[in-house]
Amino acid sequence: ADQLTALDQGYTYGLMWLAGVAILLVGAALFIGYTAQEVAHAQKVQDTLEPEKL
């Protein structure tokens, strides 16, 4: 029974860490988000600077 409790606590601890990291990554992704206009502008600039690449 003690081993099962320890295993349960270990899984819970691991899942809590995983959830925390996932929340941080989602927050960073939302913070970094680019608009379609910004992406189009960046592609246009890149194409202008490097026309030989596809």
d(CA 17, CA 11) in angstroms, rounded, equals 10
Number of neighbours of residue 2 by Cβ within 10 angstroms: 6
Whole-model pTM over 0.75: no
Per-residue pLDDT of the chain (54 residues; tens, 9 = 90+): 999 999 999 999 999 999 999 999 999 988 888 888 999 999 999 999 887 765
Query: How high is the pLDDT of residue 33?
Result: 84
